[in-house]
Amino acid sequence: MIQLKAKCILMLLLMYAVPSTAQIIKYKNDGNSLQRRLDSLEAVLSTYRGANRVDTSVVNLILSIANIRAYEMDTTKKALVYANEARAMAQKLGYAQGIAIAWITESKAFMEYNDLTNGIRCCNNGIQVHGQLCDTAALIDDSWVLGTLYFRQGWLDKVLECFLRVEGLYTSFTTKTQAASDRFAWCLYQVAALYFERNDLDLSRRYALQASRLSDSLAKQYPAYKREKYPYSGITFLGLLVNITTKQQRFDESLQFAQESLAIANADSIGRDYSLARSYELLANACYNNSQYAEGLRYALAGLSLNFSSGSLKKDELAMGSLHDIAANNYFKLARFREALTHAEQALQLNLDVYGKTPKTVFMENYKFLVAVNDSLHQPEKSVQYYRLITMLQDTLLQSERRRLVADMQAQREAIQLRRETEQQKAQRDTFFAASVGVVLFIIGAGLAFYFRKRATFTRQLLEESERTSRTVLQATIEAIEQERRRIQRELHDGAGAKLSAVKIGLSSFQSLIRTYQPDRAQGYEKSMSAFTEAITEIKRISHDMLPPILEKQGLAVALEELVQSVPSTIDIQILLNVEAILGKRYNASLELSVYRLTQEILNNCLKHADAASLVLFVGLEQRTTEGNVVDWLTLIGEDEGKGFHIEEISTRNGSLGLGTMQSRVQYMGGTLSIISEPGRGTCVTAKIPLPSP
């Protein structure tokens, strides 16, 4: 869990231009300073405009304003206006450096505006101009911006190519300024981070060490760098080295790098608390991975003792949550489960404060850890509670992914349909035009007809390929859902269920002792055992619903009979099941599971929504002749006499996900689904699925 958080923080650092510690503290403590500087520069520009002044100094002034505004989302459009004005003036003056900087400024503004395509276009234009000027220092900065744009676009190969190009530029650069060296150090860090993501740890360590050593060298040469930038960059580079060496299981080196970060933090004169918090987190993490749990706990608690109510750490929930998380893990390893539970719950609450109620995988790690702690404290009720939260979160994440896939497929179908309609309309217009020309243009018309037939063939092939792709995606989605159900079923059955059953057996041995020596507590003991039994029963029920074992062992007919018998007797409904046609017959696992899920959905919908007195379920076989071939089909019918519904209204609601799932399953099996319903007249669902050839 600790390594995963470190990885997430690492990827967040890759997404943005890197500030100095001085900038972080400055912006936290004085939010108006940037606006005051903008007002001052714009006042000077207003004076120049009033005097109709046009020269390179005016271009540079406009670019300074545009660069400041490029990093403020609410003024990004103004930044683009200023950059365009500066570029037009620079082109009029023949000022190539101004043209290049204007292009780069536009690319930064587009990046903040999340228009990455235009950002990449403008940045490449700026690089082209700076290349003509042979301005190596500017090319290093430009390549940094382009690499950041590529990263946000998700083109990691281009990111790596871009930053490796910076390495070549810096090597050939004769005058290595502080700014160019600082930028190059961060490029080395980016390359190291990308190799880390690709699990090429040797190369990642090599580039991370280069970045760290270059940062150390700059701190020795430039006092201003050491004071303002070194605390942030030095600790960040060492943090990556801690992650790399931890993954390589070189725990002594990991601890050494973390201790180096503490020395940098102690020397920080601007944002000492901020630097110490990051350094303590690295040390606690390194000690934990080196099995030095007491030391790791000491560093985590030292980090939590810092002032999070003001200064550089004000309202830094992410840092506080990470320290609570590490403290909880160290407490757990020291078998101090109560303290581990307290810190784990605080870490979870801070994550909820940061991310809100949006489902996140980070919550999954919190829940799993809380299950382990509560198991160790013998608190089965809370363990079951967090298991349920895990199940709900997994289902939510799966449903979100499925909705995304379905939306993508729908958009693809609509685009293809629109393209087909457009092609058909164009074909009709062209055919009419060819016919009106007459015999003189017969040869041209014949050529056009041949062309359009070829294009129609290509369109049909494209549609067929799209349908095959859609079916493949649908198959992958359904298989992924069922595989995840099997995994959850195994975890519940073999994990939580087995543990709780073992605990129950152990607790049962105390029954006679309590009744003999503490009879006044016997009633409470019995209630606790009853609740414990209910928890075990609930886990077994959830596990069984995930994947009924009887389906695999005894087949579809027996599984459907058990499904009907599992309906509680307290529900006043008569269910008639007819599976005589398939008794004793077995089919492939995919078909049996699909028919079982369809029946389960029909039954659940009837019990929840239909308010019906009876339900008829029928599974039969029939034969159809298709293109001269006789094909066996399996028919599933579910009919109730409930209150019914308007199909058009239900299909437009979010609640129609169950009907959509049924349609997807039947489509996946190559069958057809029919739903007939009217208010007050019940519902009839019919699914017909072809059986595979023997």
Is 576's pLDDT higher than 70? Answer: yes
For residue 75, the model assigns a pLDDT of 65
**Highest mean pLDDT of the ranges 5-19, 224-238, 345-359:** 224-238
More confident residue, 561 or 78: 561
More confident residue, 523 or 260: 260
Confidence of residue 122 (pLDDT cuts 50, 70, 90): very high
More confident residue, 163 or 324: 324
**Highest mean pLDDT of the ranges 25-29, 255-259, 266-270, 475-479:** 255-259
Q: Which of these ranges, 261-265, 378-382, 444-448, 660-664, has the smallest mean pLDDT?
A: 444-448
Is 91's pLDDT higher than 70? Answer: yes
Amino acid letter for position 246: T
User: Nearest to residue 532, comparing CAs of 579, 490, 497?
Assistant: 497
Angle at 515 between CA 514 and CA 518, to 5 degrees: 55
**Highest mean pLDDT of the ranges 75-89, 245-259, 541-555:** 245-259
Q: Are strands 614-626 and 574-578 parallel, antiparallel or unpaired?
A: parallel
Average pLDDT rounded to a whole number, residues 356-363: 65
For residue 120, the model assigns a pLDDT of 92
**Per-residue pLDDT tens digits for 366-395:** 888 888 888 888 888 888 888 888 888 777
Q: From residue 56, give the alpha-carbon distance in Å to each of 51, 70, 98, 131, 141.
A: 15, 21, 8, 20, 21
Confidence of residue 525 (pLDDT cuts 50, 70, 90): confident
Q: Which of these ranges, 7-11, 278-282, 423-427, 547-551, has the smallest mean pLDDT?
A: 7-11
Average pLDDT rounded to a whole number, residues 537-548: 65
More confident residue, 190 or 546: 190
How does 123-160 read in b/e, with b if 16+ C-beta sit within 10 Å?
Answer: bebbbebbeeeebbbbbbbbbbbbbbbbbbeebeebbb
Is 216's pLDDT higher than 60? Answer: yes
**Highest mean pLDDT of the ranges 169-173, 403-407, 490-494:** 169-173
Q: Which of these ranges, 533-542, 583-592, 597-606, has the smallest mean pLDDT?
A: 533-542
Phi-psi region at 682: left, alpha or beta (left = phi > 0; alpha = psi -120 to 50): left
Average pLDDT rounded to a whole number, residues 115-121: 89
Is 96's pLDDT higher than 90? Answer: yes
